[in-house]
Amino acid sequence: MLRIRNGRIVDPANGRRGEVGDICVGDGKVVDSLPASAPVVQARGLVVMPGAIDLHTHVAGPAVGAARLLCPEDGGRNLPTLSETGRLYARMGYTTIMEAAVAPVAARSAHADLDAIPIVDKGLYILMGNNAIALGFIRDARLDGLREYVAWLLDATRGFAVKAANPGGVEGWKCGAVGSGGAPGPKATALAHGPGLDDEVAGVTPRRIMAALASAISGLGLPHPLHLHMNGLGLPGNAALSLQTMEALKQSPVHFTHLQFHSYGGRTPKGLRSRAADLAGWINSHPAATVDVGQVVFGPAVTISADAPAQYRLHRATGRKWFNLDLEAETGCGIVPHVYRESHLVSAVQWAIGLEIFLLVDDPWRVFLSTDHPNGGAFTNYPAIIRLLMDRRFRAGVLARVHAGARDRTILAGIDREYTLDEIAIVTRAGPARALGLANKGHLGPGADADIVLYNPSDDIEAMFAMPVMVIKDGVVVGREGEIVEETRGRTLHAAPPRAAGRARDIFEKGIREEIEAYTTVAFEDYPVPEGALRRAEAVPARPRD
Amino acid sequence: MPTVVRVQPNSCGLPCVPTTLEILDAGSTRVTGGCPACREEAAAFRDAGLPSPREAGGDALSEKIGAAAAILQEARAPFIYGLGRSATVVARRAAALAAILGGAVDIEGADVAGADLLALQSFGLPGATFGEIRNRADLLLLWRCDPRATHPRLFERPSRTPCARMEARVVVIVPAGTAAPPAGAGDDLAAGGAAHRATDLVLPACSGSDLGIALSLRALVNDISPVGESIGGVPLAVLRQAAERLRRARYAAILWDPAATAGVGGDAVALSLALLARDLNRHTRCVARPLGAGGNVAGAMAALAAACGYPRAVSFASGTPLYGPGEHDAARMIGEGRADALVLVGARSRGERPESDRPGRRDRGRARVIAIGPRLPRGFDEADVFIKTAVPGISAPGSAGRADGLHVALPAGLPPAGPAEETVLEMITLQVQALRRSSHAQDPERPDR
């Protein structure tokens, strides 16, 4: 039991915008009241918020493992060890994180990694946008089968959500198809350029893949909609394809991830300019859509993506070392270390575009803080980004010193908006919780998980968010003044999709066994995450819709 | 009645046909299926069940744990070694123990993959999992290896996949003078049987010529012509043919045995092969993959990196993990006698270099030895403490990393003859921590080692 007394409570989900009050904690949950004898934490003058949520990060699984092998020079800056990952997140007041890209066949090892990350609750998104079996269902227009497959796959992998990364494009890169977006030049460069929305790859088009997956997810009532990494990541001029894609999916709830990397105008890197205003405008007029930003931070980064052709393009553009892994007819993986430099045109424009998206999307409930860790930079930069959002003068100062392209090719200089504390709580807590369908997170109402952070309000916003006075996870004080004082074990959150029953289920699984044994070299028996492998699992129920 | 179980001996590190272990009535064993390495490993299970040559440190497990912890508590330079045949989780536990002890940790077999790791860290590697290679590759370049016979599963295309009817062409690099696989036009290719697939082009390479051949192929795929009529015994015309086939392939895969990149000059060969594959991606798709060091070396390296940031040869002596192949590895720590306490976990050998290859052993007295595993390392019967454990993949469950980075489950078909290795390491860790607390309570001024 714990009573947090007289704090300034910032809990936007419950309409509390800084009024002074108490938060009561019992049995790891927020409760209505406590006996007068309950221990007290004096929070007078402190800001009290729910624990923060990172709904898009890359911290576990073979791709991150490969990045550690590839980049020993990183020294943990962007690729902290598993235990440090949990500690660093918790130290900043983050209590829930989502690993955003795991191949189904790699789910077992990804869960083993997640299990070794202390303190925070976590889950993982399963990649399906280039999965040969899923593409087969879509190609044959067997959408009921696709829905059952999505349910089976999430169940077998204990996944939380469905991710599609460059749908169709990765398969095209592997099988040698050239899309209409193909640039002239060597064949492989054209391959890497990727398909347009209606280009056929393996008998399907990106448009059909995305629509079918979004529909299956909606039909299953999964807590989080399709988590979509669109085609054309990083390409100058990709905003047009992004807008086409968004328009194609406007009937479905979709989360568009790391939107910054998809918001480019121009035709060449030297001509790169922002089209963030167009994309933000579209988001503003489509209330079912949510986005996370993928903000770029200046300094070294390690780019890790299932979008293997995009990573090849980055390697060719920068000349940096390149790791690729084509993965069992399920997905791809590319890794390229990178540096975002203030003095570099492309880096500076990318940095400004991310901030534009934050500031031009009107509704903070639908735009969330991410760096696409470690692609845009490490998650440990979140406090610095919060400062950029809350302090217009500081932002202007940085804009003045970076490459002039950030001023000339974006409209950031003309944006006066400053985020309020309430809005910061929304983009880092309440909004992600709602988008993930986590009813117990992102707020401090009765029944919520007692994931609570106490901050000392300060003019130094970055320091305030980097070093909370206290971090509480499930009612246990785990952090004080930036130090971890207790290392608890977080939950693994997974979806619990409805499955076919009885004979229909048996027949379906027999067919899936044949498909998996055809496409992978892993035995079917070894494919699912076994019962008992997750030491503290929590199913998030589905809400099937007709 | 004989007991028949499916086992997955933690041995070859590749997709292998299922191995079956029969425990016959007389206690003898019969192994079927699998590759030669996995069969040998499974057959050794009988040895694992026999009494050890010497077991010191008391009989009960708790006594042995106490004895091991006492040795480690007193050690100034402890070294944990092995892990390459253990389940992946064991490497995590080993890293945790090394961190507490301020010791070093390395993986048996990691040195075999050292050149390939260096190449990866220098230039990267365009790779693919074995399933992807099986299903997509239309050209295989087999560099001093031919896994078609030992691992047919790597090449058998299931009929359901789109590429099932497309047979891969095969180019092999073999030592000059050896009997090459059947070369020919590949006229029986469509018949199936990957193990019987014909070889389309053979490059008979002289000893020590791998670097020259790799560089020449790379030059040729980049439209640069090497000087001379032959390179390393391979006629230039044949090299041109090989380079042309690589460029024309839709999806080429280059596979090599780690022995091809081991030894003097191995680093340069590994770098050249990685760069050859990288450059080919300017023309077509090409992936490359060393076949790995076997066992769970790949899984242990990944686990160590996830636990402390580095994949092998890590020292915690300064309080923070330091990466030091050549410094914190078995050759130095055991071979030169720098460690004063060894924790050998599932190790097969002492990891030393041959006597003639050692720069000079420092005579610091014999290191005390704690051996944890199904059996004592070969040629080693001087353990101060030996804790016999279950055998991963036979009597202990877990998971292991294949050479392509995918993790597979290790089944436990037979009842264990002892605790799992990870359990033993965890118990020792807890005991060491208890000793530290007790020691600190008695003498708060005494620094932790």
The three-state (H, E, C) secondary structure of A43-59, written as one string: CCCCEEEECEEEEEECC
Chain A segment 379-438 residues within 8 A of B by beta carbon are: none
Question: What DSSP element (H or E) covers A323?
Answer: strand A322-326
Interface with B, mutate which of A318, A325, A338, A534 (most B CBs under 10 A): A325
Task: Tell me whether A327 touches chain B (CB under 8 Å).
Answer: yes
The pair of structure tokens assigned to A495 is 């979806």
Q: CB atoms < 10 A from the CB of B34, how many?
A: 25
Q: CB atoms < 10 A from the CB of A373, how many?
A: 28
Exposure on the CB side of residue B354, measured as CA atoms within 13 A: 2
Flag whether pLDDT at A62 surpasses 80.
yes
**Among all chains, which residue has been given the structure tokens 């949950």?**
A29
Share of chain A above pLDDT 90, in %: 91
In CATH, the architecture of B53-111+295-442 is: 3-Layer(aba) Sandwich (3.40)
Please name the residue of chain A whose CA is at the shortest distance from the CA of residue B278: A322
Given a contact cutoff of 8 angstroms between Cβ atoms, the answer to whether A468 and A92 are in contact is yes
Residue contact B302–A65, C-beta within 8 A: yes
Residue contact A519–B117, C-beta within 8 A: no
**Among all chains, which residue has been given the structure tokens 């500081």?**
A394
Flag whether pLDDT at A345 surpasses 80.
yes
Cα A311 to the chain's mean position, in Å? 18
Q: Is the dihedral of CA A141, A143, A148, A151 positive or negative?
A: positive
Question: Between residues B193 and A267, which one has the greater pLDDT?
Answer: A267
The residues pairing with A204 across neighbouring beta strands, listed in sequence order, are A201
Given a contact cutoff of 8 angstroms between Cβ atoms, the answer to whether B147 and B402 are in contact is no
Cα dihedral angle (B434, B435, B436, B441), rounded to 10 degrees? 90
Q: pLDDT tier at A512 (50, 70, 90 boundaries)?
A: very high
Radius of gyration from C-alpha coordinates of chain B: 24
Given a contact cutoff of 8 angstroms between Cβ atoms, the answer to whether B362 and B414 are in contact is no
Of the candidates A510, A484, A544, the residue with the CA atom closest to the CA atom of residue A120: A484
Q: Give the pLDDT of residue B192.
A: 36
Burial of A35 (0-12, 13-18, 19+ CB in 10 A): exposed
Cβ-count burial A405-428 (b if 16+ within 10 Å, e if not): bbbebbebeebeeebbbbbbbbbb
**What residue segments make up the domains of chain B, in order of their start?**
53-111+295-442, 114-290
The pair of structure tokens assigned to A439 is 């009813």
Of the candidates A381, A442, A438, A374, the residue with the CA atom closest to the CA atom of residue A99: A374
In order of A208, A229, A240, A320, A365, the CA distances from A245 in angstroms are: 11, 11, 9, 31, 22
Q: Give the pLDDT of residue B355.
A: 52
The pair of structure tokens assigned to A411 is 């409209």
Mean predicted confidence (pLDDT) in B34-49: 79
Q: Give the pLDDT of residue A183.
A: 42
Given a contact cutoff of 8 angstroms between Cβ atoms, the answer to whether B307 and A112 are in contact is no
Task: Tell me whether A65 touches chain B (CB under 8 Å).
Answer: yes
Indicate the residue of A69, A173, A186 with minimum beta-carbon distance to B120.
A69
The residues pairing with A197 across neighbouring beta strands, listed in sequence order, are none
Residue A173 three-state SS: helix
Cα A56 to the chain's mean position, in Å? 1
Q: CB atoms < 10 A from the CB of A343, how many?
A: 10
Flag whether pLDDT at A545 surpasses 80.
no
Rounded Cα distance, A357 and A242, in Å: 14
Indicate the residue of B131, B284, B307 with minimum beta-carbon distance to A187.
B284
Please name the residue of chain B whose CA is at the shortest distance from the CA of residue A113: B306
Mean predicted confidence (pLDDT) in B258-280: 93
Residue A284 three-state SS: helix
Mean predicted confidence (pLDDT) in A502-521: 92
Please tell me the least confidently modeled range out of A401-410, B297-306, B386-395.
B386-395
DSSP-derived secondary structure letter, B203 = E
Q: What CATH number is given for B114-290 in this structure?
A: 3.40.228.10
Of the candidates B58, B48, B70, the residue with the CA atom closest to the CA atom of residue B428: B70
In order of A49, A348, A351, A378, B143, the CA distances from A299 in angstroms are: 30, 11, 11, 9, 40
**Among all chains, which residue has been given the structure tokens 């042995």?**
B64
Residue A340 three-state SS: strand
Mean predicted confidence (pLDDT) in A391-400: 98
Over residues A189-223, the pLDDT tens digits come to 556 677 889 998 889 999 999 999 999 999 999 99
Q: pLDDT tier at A187 (50, 70, 90 boundaries)?
A: low
The pair of structure tokens assigned to A303 is 């780019």
Indicate the residue of B15, B92, B305 with minimum beta-carbon distance to A68.
B305
Residue B358 three-state SS: coil
Q: Which residues contact A510 (CB under 8 A, 6 or more apart)?
A: none
Q: Give the pLDDT of residue B362.
A: 53
Q: Give the pLDDT of residue A181.
A: 42
Interface with B, mutate which of A64, A73, A109 (most B CBs under 10 A): A109
Radius of gyration from C-alpha coordinates of chain A: 22
Chain A segment 367-386 residues within 8 A of B by beta carbon are: none
Chain A closest CA to B388's CA: distance in Å? 25
Indicate the residue of A69, A517, A523 with minimum beta-carbon distance to B302.
A69
Q: pLDDT tier at A175 (50, 70, 90 boundaries)?
A: confident
Quickly list H helices, B125-281.
130-136, 147-150, 210-221, 236-248, 266-280
Structural domains for chain A? 2-50+437-484 (2.30.40.10), 66-420 (no CATH)
Q: pLDDT tier at B155 (50, 70, 90 boundaries)?
A: confident
* Beta strand pairing call for A47-50 and A40-42: unpaired
Given a contact cutoff of 8 angstroms between Cβ atoms, the answer to whether A516 and A133 are in contact is yes
Q: pLDDT tier at B149 (50, 70, 90 boundaries)?
A: confident
Exposure on the CB side of residue B199, measured as CA atoms within 13 A: 22
Burial of A159 (0-12, 13-18, 19+ CB in 10 A): buried
Angle A345-360/A276-284 helices, nearest 10 degrees?
Answer: 20
Quickly list H helices, B153-235.
210-221
Q: Give the pLDDT of residue A67.
A: 97
Name residue B252's amino acid. Answer: A
Q: Give the pLDDT of residue B146.
A: 87
Indicate the residue of B154, B305, B407 with minimum beta-carbon distance to A69.
B305
The residues pairing with A420 across neighbouring beta strands, listed in sequence order, are none
Cβ-count burial B206-220 (b if 16+ within 10 Å, e if not): beebbbbbbbbbbbb
What are the counts of helices (DSSP H) followed by strands (DSSP E) for chain A?
19, 24
